[in-house]
Amino acid sequence: MKVGYYQFSPKFGEPSQNLERIRKELSGVEADIIVLPELAFTGYYFKDREELRSMAEDISQSSTVESLSDLCKDNDFYVVTGFAEREKDKLYNSALLIGPSGVVSCYRKLHLFNTEKEYFDPGDTPLDTIEVRGVKVGLMICFDWVFPEVARTLALRGADLLCHPANLVLTFCQKAMLTRCLENSVFAVTANRTGTEIRPHGKLAFTGQSQI
């Protein structure tokens, strides 16, 4: 299996612009799975729940998901991407596995980091694996790396590959993911973002250094 990631600096509050950039950069790439960062379309540092709600999308009605599905179909690959999900009155920090036929799986982040707890709801989906072209894939998101049980549970459920969309701000996260791989005899793709988000309520700088 040929895997990859796309590391970039999403523009906060510009989902259409971020989507267009992703489509342009990934078009023509030869791969089986490409992993994108956490919250790749909206940006990360929301001021409150209402700001998040204004950008979050229902998966079943999402133009972003539809466009990514077309991208996967045109290029015969799968994409794992971070996604601000809205389901009725709930808002989730999610990871979607999308392929040529559409959405294959959705994982909602279990372990919310810092101020995420103020606007996201905790995830309610099980940790499980999905087979993609003969390889069992598990999904986890950013701060899940802190908890050994996440990678271990996915490994016990047969995962060969962990796909890990992230918006990492701490300097030691990447090394910790190496430990998770060694502990569980699995491979991982961590797709982190770069850049700095400067908002009225503060500033966050992201560390990049995505890795396979």
- Catalytic site residue from 106, 142, 163, 173: 142
Active site residue 175: no
Strands 78-87 and 33-35: parallel
Contacts of residue 191, defined as CB under 8 A and 6 or more positions apart, other chains included, come to 5, 6, 7, 35, 36, 37, 80, 163, 164, 165, 166, 210
- Cβ burial of 126 (10 Å; 0-12, 13-18, 19+) is exposed
Sheet harboring 161-165: ordered strands across? 129-132, 135-139, 161-165, 187-191
Distance CA 183, CA 11 (A): 35
- Catalytic site residue from 72, 85, 106, 109: 109
Active site residue 142: yes
Active site residue 109: yes
- Catalytic site residue from 38, 85, 116, 197: 38
Active centre residues (catalytic):
38, 109, 142
